[in-house]
Amino acid sequence: MKIDTSKYKVWNWKHPYMLHWIINPGLAFNELVLGQRVAKTLLVEKDKSKSLAEASFVPCPHCNALHDSRTWSTQNNTAFKNWFGLYCPNCGETIPCFLNLTSAIILVLTYPVWGWFRTRMKQKWLIKQSARFSSIDMESITPEFSNKNWIKMGLIWGLLMFVFMTLVSPWLSGESITQKFILGSLVIWTLAGLAFGYTMHKLMKRKLLTKA
Ligand SMILES: [Zn+2]
């Protein structure tokens, strides 16, 4: 597929946002549990008058359709549960996505558990997709990570990480959980969450025509 580079900037793995997605171990949670995925190629319009959400597009390598990136968003209830990739509502194939490094390690280690069921799980998942994408609405979507939104987003992410890393992970590995450990983790994940939200906010910040 030919990309008009005079109109679009191509975000691939070299872009800081994408690198962050691959490297940050915390995002394995988003990928494996929530099913949030990031496509390997994102096209961002060079015209800066639009918000990032409005200006970014995901190309489908199977049918060459250029999808509004908000096709997969929390507002449309399609941001999560994309475990097998981003579903293309145009051709029904899945658009290739990045895999977080920590996710990759976890998937390799647990392969004997899920490897047997993968094909069946994917088939089941695929059947449900067309209904999920039948009533996509772009108009009422407000850009994420705008204004004060990043604090909320960061804290929610920090809370999820806290629950998983502090309570679930030691429980799985059989380590004991002390009060000091819980308090320390709470502080660390609150700060990490705010840092995460702020970084995303900075990366996502674009001039907004209507909401400046
Ligand atoms: Zn397609």
CB atoms within 10 A of CB 29: 21
Predicted confidence (pLDDT) at residue 77 exceeds the cutoff of 60: yes
- Mean pLDDT calculated for residue range 103-119: 93
CB-based contact 56:33 (threshold 8 Å) = no
Predicted confidence (pLDDT) at residue 209 exceeds the cutoff of 50: no
Q: How far apart are CA 72 and CA 157, in angstroms?
A: 18
Which residue type is seen at 54? E
Predicted confidence (pLDDT) at residue 96 exceeds the cutoff of 90: yes
Q: Which residues pair with residue 42 across a beta bridge?
A: 11
Q: Give CA separation, 190 vs 42, 113, 186, 196, in Å.
A: 30, 33, 6, 10
Tokens found for residue 41:
């190629």
Confidence of residue 198 (pLDDT cuts 50, 70, 90): confident
- Where do the domains of the chain lie? 1-141, 142-212
pLDDT number for residue 145 = 52
Confidence of residue 119 (pLDDT cuts 50, 70, 90): very high
For the chain, what percent of residues have pLDDT higher than 90?
53
Q: Which residues pair with residue 66 across a beta bridge?
A: 59
CA 170 to centroid of ligand 1, rounded, Å: 41
CA 174 to centroid of ligand 1, rounded, Å: 44
Q: Give CA separation, 28 vs 13, 164, 175, in Å.
A: 17, 11, 21
End-to-end CA distance of the chain: 35
CA 107 to centroid of ligand 1, rounded, Å: 26
Tokens found for residue 38:
């990031």
CB-based contact 65:59 (threshold 8 Å) = yes
CA 90 to centroid of ligand 1, rounded, Å: 5
pLDDT number for residue 205 = 65
Predicted confidence (pLDDT) at residue 140 exceeds the cutoff of 70: no
pLDDT number for residue 146 = 55
Confidence of residue 189 (pLDDT cuts 50, 70, 90): very high
For the chain, what percent of residues have pLDDT higher than 70?
92
| Most confident residue range from 49-53, 144-148, 169-173 | 49-53
Tokens found for residue 33:
């549990």
CB-based contact 186:210 (threshold 8 Å) = no
CA 144 to centroid of ligand 1, rounded, Å: 25
CA 64 to centroid of ligand 1, rounded, Å: 6
CA 1 to centroid of ligand 1, rounded, Å: 12
Of 84 and 4, which is predicted with more confidence? 84
pLDDT digits (tens, 9 = 90+) for 24-57: 888 999 999 999 999 999 999 998 888 788 899 9
CA 83 to centroid of ligand 1, rounded, Å: 17
Confidence of residue 17 (pLDDT cuts 50, 70, 90): confident
Predicted confidence (pLDDT) at residue 64 exceeds the cutoff of 80: yes
pLDDT number for residue 53 = 82
